[in-house]
Structure 1
């Protein structure tokens, strides 16, 4: 609870600092608040606490909270030179991201499904505004409208599913629901089954899994790049953690029922995400379709429920989060200099800025799943998790899709090292260097020593 209170108070302080024109203090206040919240994560480790049966701050919630808070801290560091000198929305940007993070922490630690709904809504409402915060930008307005309409639509599925589960069990509590399934395995209410399907649909919308992914490319492309970074990494990680807490915990006794529709979603997500990314000429849009494909890999943790499912998802989420932050950070720098985010903008980047090109190369290799990177370990654990329980056809299908991914990830590497570009000097601000170097260190360290976080949960 201290984590949520800290983040919320920080958001309010930042908002009031903006009112009093203390623009230079906004980032400092925010970083102090996030570091304090991160300290609470560390000091709360192995001390599972339940708050009035509504939230449970256990090691699962703390581990994912640590990743989301650290990722958000890195994203805030990317705000250096991001806003115009006369921008009046900086405090609002910071405050809304912090409120979204507070909703995310609720999503990670809910014990009662009503808190899941509250967390999703706090996060979503903040993101609707953030997506369209550039009021004079048509693409930003379009992204906000699409995100709002699709988000409201998916929330309807989620809420209806929760209602049916409550009607069948008489409770919103995950433990009570699990006990109901165990003790009434042969006499489960007919309302329960459509409730589970509706929850799968609602959560699949939130994480951008196919065939409920159609909002992702346009929203990611139209939103400000900083907000796209947050949605693609922190928000997606939170959605998966909420998915895992509900299905791997409360709904585990019905695994045989919800596995077939989940397998369909996994296969569609991998195929559509990877194949569509092949044809993209826009780096930002390619990353959007890439995030869809990674949603499929993350769902592997639910295909076979084992004692290591949560840990495997944590490793993959960490690998994906920090590699994607690198990619978007470099994209922000390139777009500020060239004015567009096509692959051609990266031509000759290795000559202009060798460090940035090297870090982006490692990030692309990690997202592709090349050995000695965190992305390889994440994919390996996901595939191993499925092979222990199921036939290898699913793993073979996923590996073929991963091979497709090599092509579009290597497009940007080829552009940086083997194509001639304009002689533009790409300057890397100090805060960007900090984010790039730390993210690179995490990506390589987890690729070599994954055991550091592999057994956390």
Structure 2
């Protein structure tokens, strides 16, 4: 809870820092703000509180999810180069402030005890992302992406809110523990139809936010149109917050009607895995490939969310951390290479061919890209391998056979399109010049790569904490 208050104040402080003539202070200040928030969040470990008239709950689960969100935010901010280069058209103070405000919404989504607070947190996060998506006002793709995201997001939010209203009408409570008790009681007899309809609508609203099929249509266009730094933020922080909220509802408030929604989610999990992986194979744009990759990873996380075994919580947390670190590394390499290529072209090229010959003059960038792709593909000795292993183990333990088989087959498909970037970097001729990286950028890339490797070699270092 203290981290929510701190981030709100820090966001306002960032806006005042924008009045200063020196833009260089904004990046280190924002990094410091995120670190302070992370420290305040970790200070709540092994303590449980209820806040705002029992509408928010702080416990170890919320601390873990919030920590993953804050670590991802720190890494994204650290690689946010170029905000201050164009003083006429960029406004870094506003960008950083909106990012901090969006993190407030994300943390509310992992600490909510009341469905109203889930809705408030979701809206804070969503509105912030609508704005950040359209920040490149001179780019028609960015404008189009923001409009699509806003319209479809508003529609999904309406479905979610109507579902909450139906659940309240059926149970008379917004509190998730109160709803859980009433759902268990109703499940023993004849639960009202309003309850089942409301639960399905709430699940649909959250599945839209995490890019699950068939609610994924906004994802490729929004990911491609938004500035790459905000796409990285969207694909990590938003997805983690969305699955945290979904997990809390499925494993808590809605557990009494498990048989009602489980088969729907089985089908949507398989559909998400198939659409995400098969469509990614045909992409020529590296950024669109990462968009469909994000859809496929939503399918893997849905697989363990439906398993509902003792290790589900730690599996989702570990997978979210592994996916976030690898994705941020991939977007960081894409941003720096695309900026270098852009100076010699009329428009930004984000296809796989921009990595052609990358290893020749930029071995560090090529290595970071390789490790991130290997992790996303689930290759051994990377964090992504253990993330998928834990998820598949949960599904096997629960006896989820058909979705598990689909997930394993789609993992094999994923190796193909992830390796396209590695092949471009090492085995194709290209003209990527030597790129000079700022110290903080280089350090961040090294940290994310080492973290991916360390978690791949010794996953229990983090898994035991979760």
TM-score range, shorter chain: over 0.9
- For residues 135 and 209 of structure 2, what CA distance do their matches in structure 1 show? 20
- Map residues 16-415 of structure 1 onto 2, 5 A cutoff: 16-51=16-51, 52-86=53-87, 87-185=89-187, 186-339=189-342, 340-415=349-424
Which runs of no fewer than 5 residues in structure 2 stay unpaired?
343-348
Alpha-carbon displacement from aligned partner over 1:185-218 (angstroms, at most 9, x marks no partner): 2132221000011011111111100000000000
Which runs of no fewer than 5 residues in structure 1 stay unpaired?
none
- For residues 451 and 188 of structure 1, what CA distance do their matches in structure 2 show? 42
- For residues 265 and 34 of structure 1, what CA distance do their matches in structure 2 show? 35
- In 2 relative to 1, CA 135–62 (structure 1 residues): closer, same or farther, beyond 3 Å? same
- Is the Cα–Cα contact under 8 Å of residues 355 and 432 in structure 2 kept in the other structure? no
| Aligned-residue CA RMSD (Å) | 1.2
CA offset at residue 422 of structure 1? 1.1
SS in 2 for 1:299: helix
CA offset at residue 456 of structure 1? 2.9
- In 2 relative to 1, CA 371–135 (structure 1 residues): closer, same or farther, beyond 3 Å? same
CA offset at residue 27 of structure 1? 1.5
CA offset at residue 307 of structure 1? 1.6
CA offset at residue 423 of structure 1? 4.8
- Is the Cα–Cα contact under 8 Å of residues 8 and 98 in structure 1 kept in the other structure? yes
CA offset at residue 303 of structure 1? 1.8
- Is the Cα–Cα contact under 8 Å of residues 80 and 431 in structure 1 kept in the other structure? no
- Is the Cα–Cα contact under 8 Å of residues 83 and 92 in structure 2 kept in the other structure? no
Q: Give the alignment's TM-score, normalised by structure 2.
A: 0.96
Alpha-carbon displacement from aligned partner over 1:147-197 (angstroms, at most 9, x marks no partner): 000110000110011000000110000110111122232132221000011
Alpha-carbon displacement from aligned partner over 1:227-257 (angstroms, at most 9, x marks no partner): 1000011111111111101111111121111
SS in 1 for 2:181: helix
- For residues 357 and 150 of structure 1, what CA distance do their matches in structure 2 show? 36
CA offset at residue 22 of structure 1? 4.1
- Is the Cα–Cα contact under 8 Å of residues 10 and 29 in structure 1 kept in the other structure? no
CA offset at residue 84 of structure 1? 2.1
Farther-moved stretch of structure 1 (442-451 vs 83-92): 83-92
